[in-house]
C-alpha cells in the first residue's frame, strides 16, 4: 500500500513538473517581452534635457516615456554603447523566447544555450560600437556622446591606432559577423547560398517572362 502511494506521488510529480516548468517559462516570456518594450520606448524617447547619469536635468518634467527610470536607463546605455544600445531590448525579448523554447530534455531552461547567445550578443555589441565610432556620425544632441559611445571609443579608436582604420574595420567586421552567428544561430554561408539561389530563380523567371512577352509581340505583328 505504501509503495503504491509512493509510486502514485512520483507519477503525479512527473505530471505536474512539466506544467509548472511551462508556466514559469511562459511567465518569463511575458515579463521579458514587456521589459523589452519598455526599454525600447525609453531609448526611443531619449531627451538630452531629461535628468540622467551624464548630466543633471532641470526642473522641467521628464519627457521620456519610461519616466525617470527610463530617462536614466537611456542616458546610461546610449552614453556607454551609442546606437548599439538599441540591441539590448532586442536581446531581452530574444532571451524570453529562448527561455520559452530552449528547454532541456528534463523540461528546464537550457542555460548553456542562453549563455552562448548572450556571449554572441556581447561580442556583437562590442564590435558594433567600434564600427559605429569609426564610420557613423550623428548630429550634436542626438546622443550623450557619439554613435559608438564609450565602448566604441575604447575599442574602435584603440584598434584604429594599432592597425589603421581599414585594418580595425576588417577586424571588427569579422567579430561582428561572428557575434551575430553566435547570437542568432544564423549561418552567413547558408544565407549567401540561399540568396544566390533566389537571385538565379528570379533571373530565370524574368528571362522566361521576357521570352514570352517577345513571342506575343511577334505574334501580334505577324
Tell me what pLDDT residue 15 has: 46
Q: How many CA atoms lie within 13 A of 64 on its CB side?
A: 25
Determine which of 14-23, 59-68, 123-132 has the lowest per-residue pLDDT on average: 14-23
pLDDT tens-digit map of 55-103: 766 667 888 899 889 999 999 999 999 999 999 999 899 888 887 876 5
User: Is pLDDT of 105 > 50?
Assistant: no
CA dihedral 87, 89, 91, 97 (to 10 degrees): -150
Distance CA 53, CA 78 (A): 11
Q: Whole-number mean pLDDT of the chain?
A: 82
Residue 199, C-alpha cell as written in the block = 537571385
* DSSP states of 131-179: HHHHH----TTSSSS-TTHHHHIIIIIHHHHHHHHHHHHHHHHHHHHHH
Q: How many CA atoms lie within 13 A of 9 on its CB side?
A: 6
Tell me what pLDDT residue 123 has: 93
CA 51 to chain centre: 27
User: Is pLDDT of 37 > 50?
Assistant: yes
Distance CA 136, CA 86 (A): 15
Q: What predicted TM-score, i.e. pTM, was given to this entire model?
A: 0.73
CA 176 to chain centre: 12
Tell me what pLDDT residue 7 has: 55
Tell me what pLDDT residue 11 has: 46
Compare 104 and 89 and report the one with higher pLDDT.
89
Compare 114 and 104 and report the one with higher pLDDT.
114
pLDDT tens-digit map of 134-178: 998 877 667 878 888 999 999 999 999 999 999 999 999 999 999
Q: Identify the DSSP state of 103.
A: B
Assign 205 a pLDDT band (cuts: 50, 70, 90).
Answer: confident
Tell me what pLDDT residue 14 has: 47
Phi first, then psi, for residue 101 (nearest 5°) are -95, -35
Tell me what pLDDT residue 88 has: 93
Average pLDDT for residues 116-144, to the nearest whole number? 87
Compare 3 and 115 and report the one with higher pLDDT.
115
Residue with cell 571609443: 153
Containing 7, the helix (H) or strand (E) segment is helix 2-44
Amino acid at each position: 500500500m505504501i509503495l503504491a502511494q509512493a509510486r502514485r506521488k512520483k507519477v503525479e510529480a512527473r505530471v505536474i513538473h512539466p506544467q509548472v516548468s511551462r508556466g514559469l517559462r511562459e511567465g518569463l516570456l511575458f515579463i521579458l517581452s514587456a521589459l523589452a518594450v519598455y526599454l525600447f520606448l525609453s531609448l526611443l524617447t531619449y531627451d538630452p534635457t531629461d535628468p540622467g547619469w551624464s548630466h543633471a536635468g532641470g526642473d522641467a518634467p521628464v519627457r521620456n516615456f519610461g519616466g525617470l527610470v527610463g530617462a536614466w536607463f537611456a542616458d546610461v546605455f546610449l552614453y556607454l554603447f551609442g546606437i548599439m544600445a538599441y540591441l539590448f531590448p532586442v536581446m531581452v525579448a530574444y532571451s524570453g523566447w529562448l527561455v520559452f523554447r530552449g528547454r532541456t530534455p528534463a523540461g528546464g531552461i537550457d542555460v548553456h544555450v542562453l549563455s552562448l547567445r548572450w556571449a554572441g550578443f556581447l561580442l556583437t555589441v562590442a564590435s558594433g560600437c567600434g564600427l559605429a565610432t569609426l564610420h557613423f556620425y550623428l548630429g550634436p544632441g542626438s546622443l550623450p556622446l557619439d554613435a559608438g559611445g564609450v565602448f566604441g571609443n575604447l575599442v574602435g579608436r584603440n584598434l584604429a591606432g594599432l592597425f589603421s582604420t581599414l585594418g580595425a574595420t576588417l577586424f571588427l567586421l569579422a567579430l561582428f559577423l561572428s557575434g551575430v552567428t553566435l547570437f542568432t544561430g544564423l549561418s552567413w554561408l547558408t544565407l549567401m547560398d540561399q540568396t544566390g539561389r533566389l537571385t538565379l530563380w528570379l533571373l530565370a523567371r524574368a528571362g522566361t517572362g521576357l521570352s514570352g512577352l517577345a513571342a506575343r509581340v511577334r505574334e501580334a505583328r505577324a
